[in-house]
Structure 1
Amino acid sequence: MKRLILCVLMAAALPASAQNLLIRDATVHTAGAAGTLKDHDVLVQAGVVRAIGPDLAAPAGVTVIDAKGRPLTPGLFGGLSGLGIEEVSGEAATVDAGLALGTMTPPHEGSSWRPEFDVDVAFNPHSAAIGVNRVEGITFTTLSPSALPGGSFVAGQGSVVRLDGRYDAALAGSRSLFIDLGSDASVLSGGSRAGQWMLLEQAVAEARAGSGDLLTRAGRATLARYLAGGRVVFQVDRAADIRQVLAFAKKHGMRPVIAGGAEAWRVAAELKAADAVVLVDALANLPSSFDSLASGLETAARLHRAGVKVGFSQRGDATHNARKQRQLAGNAVAHGLPWDAALAGLTVVPARAFGLSDRGQIAVGQAADLVLWSGDPLEVNTWAEQVWFDGVAANMRSRQTELRDRYLAPEGALPRAYTTN
């Protein structure tokens, strides 16, 4: 009840049009070189952080929020997800993340190899799944296409989107190509992971030549763009496969991001040398396949000690559980990852990995995507008291809170199911 009252009061105090505010007396976790700043103020003007320091003066017309020492962080990353392109995972008509146009054998013009497939255009900013995760401090996610039977292990493209309800949510410069590799994808490559590399090399050759049978004309043009320094997310777990990814990316001028990386710690030196970011599932404590025999709860800590940039992304039902990202980070802390590195893995590391230089930290000049917490944000018994996008207070309600309020309210003349508010 205290949480509900506080959220309502704060939402009332900040009109939707407000972009100028001063958050006083916060424990500011900057996720940057400044580290944690206790008893500091953060001034936001025109949606951007303008000043950070103790006892800042409040300009005229600026809304003042007293944080009372509570933690303030950048908005959190929801991982690689289908937020906005997947409503109910069990209902195919509401899932727009994958493309399956038929088998790829024999390959032909218009085959299932369609790297030009881009999930951004299917994004629905009013998906109920977004609200449920936004009120838990998730402010941005990377839309991740899925490799489906009848499709290709080159799953398509997706961008980072902001979860503030806007239609034009994709952030410029963040678009990435997604490729699934390893045993789970071998059914899409003739039953062998060796076939994946054969087909990838053929696709690259076609993109460079401008002709061929595996890709469409649009597919060749799309892939060609990623051969000139483009970002490619490789879903891969086995250490041997990760080494192949790094060699392939270097050979063809790609910037690799490793997703999954269950055995990434085994090739940490190579990952550091390649300056590759690894997005790990820190709850993957047991092998789920022969590709992840060396998985463990210490993966994030091991990678960090080796100098590898570590972020977080869940496997499985990542869309509806994006709010559990901070649980992943907290679990990594419990197994050796420094707290500041865990917060960075939820904020600045994924932001920079996907080309976002203006968010992911609390620093002067950064976009004011902020979250005020009831306590340590990496603890499961704390909650987000208020979320801001560019200094604008987010509506701290979701489908879940609305259902809660409906069925906890005193019964009136009609059954609760008929309540309209």
Structure 2
Amino acid sequence: MSADPDTPVLRPVRARRSRRAISALMLAAISLSMPRAMQAQQGAATLIRNARVFDGERVLDGRDVLVQAGKVTQVGRGVRAPAGATLVDGAGKTLLPGLIDSHTHTFGDALQEAVVFGVTTHLDMFTDVSIARTMRAQQAAGQADGRADLFSAGTLVTAPRGHGTQFGMAIPTITTPDSAQSFVDARIAEGSEWIKIVYEDGHTFGQTIPTLSRETMGAVIRAAHRRGKLAVVHISDAAGAKAAIEEGADGLVHLFIDRAPDADFARMTAGRHAFVIPTLVVLASMTGTGGGASLVDDARLAPYLLAERTQALKQGFPQRAGAPAQTLAAANETVRQLRAAGVPILAGSDAPNPGTAYGAALHRELELLVAAGLTPVEALRAATSVPATAFRLADRGRIAPGMRADLLLVDGDPTRDITATRAISGVWKGGVPVDRQSLARRVAAARAPRAGGAAAVPGGIISDFESGELAATTGTWMPSPDSYAGGTSTGDVTVIAGGANGSGHAMQVAGTIAATIPYAWYGAMWMAGQAMAPVDLSARPGFGFWTRGDGGTYRVMVFAQSKGMQPLIRTFVAGPEWREVNLSWTDFGVDGSDVAGIVVAGGPQPGAFRFLVDDFRLR
């Protein structure tokens, strides 16, 4: 997998679903449930009294802010509360516009998680265009009060086998300047709201990646401008950054860490009226240490961080042998020079890459921007009014009459201590209070002592399938398709006659693996608890089962909370005769104390497959 800090490292895990992960059924459920919330609260007024207000540009002390029908209607002193208004005491607190993350890749529950951390808008740099269209339609219909809004570049512009294609997902690519206009027009027709271009050959990270020629990059930028669209460029080295600005890019979506900037780089960028999204938190992860690791121990955020998010925040990118040493020094110096030259600087996290987590990582990005030389007020502008202006979002990023009531209330004063943005007292999306505690309850439940466990499984048997059904003494069996990660493999999980050792039945897993993604699978998952809640199975050393099949090599994947719910994989062979497979928790690098699920699966080899499983048990 690529170590580039732009397209996220995709893994076949429930918490990191890819661009097709939000199924039509989920979207339908969202569209049906959100209007009810809006209907219940749309007419209610909210008055936040006596707060310090950062309005997106400046600090106003001791102000009242009135919200009605989803918008800010008054900002001042002594504002009278309408009848029935909800009153919020803002004394000792700071009210800010909802934060804007200017660089994300939106998968799964990203938007719902982000808003809990006060991030009310995602500027997405590569996601599925059909999902983006659906999200935008729901936003326009007022059906997105429980999640961050999404604006997206849709499909990025890259070369064949270039950055963004490495995960086996079929996307259009471009090779020559003369096709730039038609290529850009096709992206706009799909719904891209700006054009994102990849100019990246991988040498900074010890790789060789095909990339666009400079002439093609320039042609795409000009094609976007002819259609009135912004053109932003992914780069990772100083030379690429300079070339992109010289070709007329409206913005860079990363900074570089290969060397210090040229003496005239910042002045040139300012002269071209371009903006920059440094993504320092993910650049820090490029050094091998998770850029957001410090957030894990912050008591203001920890109650809202799922186990897989805490694991991700601690992760750095793999360090390739022979790659140049990476530090943040060059990026920090570039930020200082850009600030001095008056270049607009935007805060972006590049979540969900290693070292990041949706919503939470933006708070670390603000801290890193201040460490690089911005004042706290400038950093807050970088997450509010500056991206709203740069991406032409006229209805947000400010607290003023007529603006959207996307608001973040925090304890303390982040205009002096930028980490106070983490002390969240309340979040409003379109004037509707965000239910932050539902995520906190989910996190707490996952951390609570596990019910049941190995002691609750008499004789260790989970399933012998003798009832003729997918029954289990504890937990639940269910199909596990790779559609959760953008795959198209198909199959069935059934119980058939003829089991191991002369028994009556066994579970059959059969289907066809499609080579849509490199780690394709279709299988059967045993969930140890409810909804992937981890269970303590450490009283037994491992698990086993009997198997036979078509002679193929198949996979066992264990999911454990301590490993961030990433699949821990071992293989087995299902030959023509029944054989026993025994595995220990230590084979997977865990102790069995927090097992959420076990999958037996076909793939990643493409084609038809079939195998049987019987007497699945804890040893």
Per the TM superposition, whether the score is higher than 0.5 is yes
Pairing 1:59-208 to 2, within 5 Å after superposition: 59-83=82-106, 86-87=107-108, 127=109, 129-145=110-126, 164-165=145-146, 170=151, 175-184=193-202, 196-200=213-217
Change in 2 beyond 3 A, CA 1:401/1:271: farther
1:229 positional shift: 3.1
Mapped contact 2:53–2:96 kept (Cα < 8 A): yes
Q: Quick one: distance in 2 between partners of 1:292 and 1:268?
A: 21
Q: Quick one: distance in 1 between partners of 2:90 and 2:421?
A: 19
Change in 2 beyond 3 A, CA 1:308/1:66: same
C-alpha distance after superposition, 1:371-406 (max 9, x if no partner):
111234531793322111121111214545324146
Q: Quick one: distance in 2 between partners of 1:70 and 1:168?
A: 25
Q: Quick one: distance in 2 between partners of 1:325 and 1:367?
A: 21
Q: Quick one: distance in 1 between partners of 2:346 and 2:231?
A: 16
1:342 lines up with 2:323 in the alignment: no
Mapped contact 2:121–2:148 kept (Cα < 8 A): no
Q: Secondary structure at the match of 1:261?
A: coil
Match of 1:262 in 2: 256
Q: Quick one: distance in 1 between partners of 2:149 and 2:431?
A: 18
Q: Quick one: distance in 2 between partners of 1:390 and 1:404?
A: 28
Match of 1:215 in 2: none
Change in 2 beyond 3 A, CA 1:136/1:322: closer
Match of 1:247 in 2: 246
Q: Secondary structure at the match of 1:234?
A: strand
Match of 1:235 in 2: 234
1:364 lines up with 2:401 in the alignment: yes
1:228 positional shift: 3.3
Pairing 1:210-359 to 2, within 5 Å after superposition: 224=223, 226-249=225-248, 256-262=250-256, 266=262, 267-283=265-281, 284=283, 295-315=330-350, 316-317=353-354, 320-359=357-396
Q: Please, what TM-score do these two structures have when normalized by structure 2?
A: 0.46
Q: Secondary structure at the match of 2:404?
A: coil
Q: Quick one: distance in 2 between partners of 1:24 and 1:285?
A: 39
Q: Secondary structure at the match of 2:339?
A: helix
* Aligned counterpart in structure 2 of residue 31 of structure 1, from 41, 56, 76: 56
Please tell me the residue identity of whatever aligns with 1:77: I
1:197 positional shift: 1.8
1:157 positional shift: 12
Q: Quick one: distance in 2 between partners of 1:299 and 1:286?
A: 18
Mapped contact 1:79–1:318 kept (Cα < 8 A): no
C-alpha distance after superposition, 1:108-139 (max 9, x if no partner):
xxxxxxxxxxxxxxxxxxx2x33332211111
1:78 positional shift: 2.4
Q: Secondary structure at the match of 1:312?
A: coil
Q: Quick one: distance in 1 between partners of 2:115 and 2:149?
A: 17
Mapped contact 1:15–1:393 kept (Cα < 8 A): no
Q: Quick one: distance in 2 between partners of 1:334 and 1:166?
A: 30
Change in 2 beyond 3 A, CA 1:179/1:372: same
Mapped contact 1:277–1:311 kept (Cα < 8 A): yes
* Aligned counterpart in structure 2 of residue 20 of structure 1, from 42, 45, 55: 45
More displaced stretch, 298-307 vs 355-364: 298-307
Please tell me the residue identity of whatever aligns with 1:136: F
Q: Please, what TM-score do these two structures have when normalized by structure 1?
A: 0.66
Match of 1:217 in 2: none
Q: Secondary structure at the match of 1:37?
A: strand
Mapped contact 1:143–1:158 kept (Cα < 8 A): no
Mapped contact 1:368–1:388 kept (Cα < 8 A): yes
1:363 positional shift: 1.6
1:285 positional shift: 5.4
Please tell me the residue identity of whatever aligns with 1:45: Q
Mapped contact 1:157–1:176 kept (Cα < 8 A): no
Gaps in structure 2 of 5+ consecutive residues: 1-36, 154-190, 288-322, 457-473, 475-527, 534-619
Change in 2 beyond 3 A, CA 1:16/1:394: farther
1:346 positional shift: 0.9
1:419 positional shift: 9.8
Q: Quick one: distance in 1 between partners of 2:430 and 2:95?
A: 15
Identity of paired residues, percent?
27
Please tell me the residue identity of whatever aligns with 2:347: F
Gaps in structure 1 of 5+ consecutive residues: 1-11, 88-126, 148-154, 208-222, 250-254
1:15 positional shift: 5.9
Match of 1:109 in 2: none
Please tell me the residue identity of whatever aligns with 1:180: V
Change in 2 beyond 3 A, CA 1:200/1:296: closer
Q: Quick one: distance in 1 between partners of 2:80 and 2:123?
A: 37
Q: Quick one: distance in 1 between partners of 2:355 and 2:285?
A: 18
Q: Quick one: distance in 2 between partners of 1:235 and 1:362?
A: 31
Mapped contact 1:43–1:49 kept (Cα < 8 A): yes
Q: Quick one: distance in 2 between partners of 1:268 and 1:67?
A: 40
C-alpha distance after superposition, 1:140-193 (max 9, x if no partner):
11122179xxxxxxx999799676347995599981111111323999xx9666
Please tell me the residue identity of whatever aligns with 2:50: D
Mapped contact 2:51–2:90 kept (Cα < 8 A): yes
1:385 lines up with 2:425 in the alignment: yes
Q: Secondary structure at the match of 2:396?
A: coil
1:420 positional shift: 13
Please tell me the residue identity of whatever aligns with 2:213: Q
1:348 positional shift: 1.2
| Higher RCO (Cα < 8 Å, 6 or more apart) | 1
C-alpha distance after superposition, 1:295-342 (max 9, x if no partner):
243443331121110012234348734422121112221332111110
1:58 positional shift: 1.2
